[in-house]
Structure 1
Amino acid sequence: MIPAGPDDAPPAFVRALRSLRDVQLRPEIHLEEVPGPARIAPYTAALAAEVRANARDIEADDLASGRFVVLHDPAGQEAWDGTFRLVTLVRASLEAEVGSDPMLGEVAWSWFVDALAESGLDAHAAGGTITRVLSQSFGALDRRPEQVDLEIRASWTARDENLQPHLQAWAVLLCTAAGLPPLPAGVVPLPRRR
């Protein structure tokens, strides 16, 4: 579901949200509208997503999750260098060997930059953080394997009201973090078997 925006929203914000309606995403990605953050910008909207191993099974394991937030300030904000700011969050669990790689932060940031470039976008006024958390279990839980959780937080400024390629770039980032192989244009993935 794509957010409609508040009734008093400026036409540019409404057009921006409408540009998201016809975005075609991989079937493994399940979107839902969630409340946008308050007090960051006069107009906000947000989507939450889960990437599931089996697109048709609602009980399937989540490979990654995240949020896509649209911020709009008609007056602009100096730090944004524009009137639309996009904020993303992506979370995924990784194998311990991958998570211990000292280059993981640089690699994860390159996923973000590459996802934007693949959608024909530049990372205008982009910034972000990459966080990894290593979980080790002890005592009665010592049989659990080590787990590494990766979190990618990024924001950038959209140059215009067409947010469709930005949502597509975020979807690519989600799928990359989830470990899904890239799909060539026009190819439909087959569901995974367990």
Structure 2
Amino acid sequence: MSVHRLTPSDHGFGRAIAAMTATPLRPEVELTEIPAPSRMAPHTWAASGEVLMHDEELASGRLVVLFDPDGNEGWQGRWRMVALVQAQLEPEFAIESMLGDVAWSWVTESLELADASAHELGCTATRVVSQSYGALASRPSTVDVEMRVSWTPDEDEAEAADDPHGTVLLAPHLVAWSSMLAAAGGLPPSPAPVAPITPSHRARSPRPGDEA
């Protein structure tokens, strides 16, 4: 049962979400529908995602889909994707000054590879290095990366395909977000049906208690 209530007058929002969630993702990504924030737009949907490999969580995040049938000036469109990506990287990334640029490349390349045309794209990448001293000096250093990304899907292609409700519009953007998760988790680009053998870097999702 869906955790969201969709009214008959949702302007095709329900159909668009149903088509999007039917899209196959790469096998390492697990998607779970969660309650969406209701005040951000007239219609909202949200999910959490995890990248799992060999029973280990490599990355995690959330995706919120916003829809305003009247359009939103700040979005420059009717739809808006708001994404969170989190992962814990190996200590070598503590001295990687270009990590922000690498994280940005995960975003742009994921959108490009998924053919997810977008505008008003923005990203904030935060790196947190945790080092322990004194009685806790034996604990290894950790590096956490958090990416907050938002973008507006281009609706020109949906209009050209005579799809006024955007039924096929959102699928590439869900794939793109899942690819951002996979990249943060150290997995190389891969089509959905193909599972990579090894990660390109060691990573896991931050866990409760890591900062204790």
- 1:169 partner amino acid: A
CA contact (8 A) 1:105 1:130 kept: yes
For 2:203, the equivalent position in structure 1 comes to: none
How many aligned residue pairs are there?
187
Asked whether 1:165 is paired with 2:172, we answer yes
For 1:57, the equivalent position in structure 2 comes to: none
For 1:65, the equivalent position in structure 2 comes to: 60
SS of 1:20's partner is helix
CA contact (8 A) 1:3 1:46 kept: no
Q: 1:111-169 CA distances to partner (integer Å, 9 max, x unpaired)?
A: 10110011112331111200010011123321111101000111000123221000001
SS of 1:46's partner is strand
TM-score under structure 1 length normalisation: 0.87
- 1:84 partner amino acid: W
TM-score under structure 2 length normalisation: 0.80
SS of 2:79's partner is strand
The structural deviation recorded for 1:106 is: 1.2
5+ residue gaps, structure 2, are 156-165, 200-212
Q: 1:5-24 CA distances to partner (integer Å, 9 max, x unpaired)?
A: 52355132112202213211
In 2: Cα distance, 1:50 partner to 1:159 partner:
26
- 1:138 partner amino acid: Y
Q: Higher relative contact order at CA 8 Å, sep ≥6: structure 1 or structure 2?
A: 2
**Pairing of 1:95-110 with structure 2 (within 5 A):** 95-110=90-105
Sort the Cα spacing of 1:9 and 1:167 in 2 relative to 1 into closer, same or farther, 3 A: farther
In 2: Cα distance, 1:82 partner to 1:136 partner:
43
Asked whether 1:30 is paired with 2:30, we answer yes
SS of 1:126's partner is strand
For 1:121, the equivalent position in structure 2 comes to: 116
Q: 1:11-46 CA distances to partner (integer Å, 9 max, x unpaired)?
A: 321122022132111221111111111311111100
Aligned alpha-carbon RMSD (Å): 2.2
SS of 2:75's partner is coil
Sort the Cα spacing of 1:165 and 1:5 in 2 relative to 1 into closer, same or farther, 3 A: farther
For 2:51, the equivalent position in structure 1 comes to: 51
For 2:210, the equivalent position in structure 1 comes to: none
The structural deviation recorded for 1:100 is: 2.4
Moved more, 133-142 or 67-76: 133-142
For 1:21, the equivalent position in structure 2 comes to: 21
Asked whether 1:112 is paired with 2:119, we answer no
Asked whether 1:147 is paired with 2:142, we answer yes
The structural deviation recorded for 1:3 is: 6.7
Sort the Cα spacing of 1:4 and 1:190 in 2 relative to 1 into closer, same or farther, 3 A: farther
CA contact (8 A) 2:115 2:172 kept: yes
For 2:189, the equivalent position in structure 1 comes to: 182
Moved more, 117-126 or 75-84: 117-126
For 2:73, the equivalent position in structure 1 comes to: 78
- 1:183 partner amino acid: S
- 1:103 partner amino acid: M
CA contact (8 A) 1:4 1:14 kept: no
CA contact (8 A) 1:2 1:20 kept: no
SS of 2:120's partner is coil
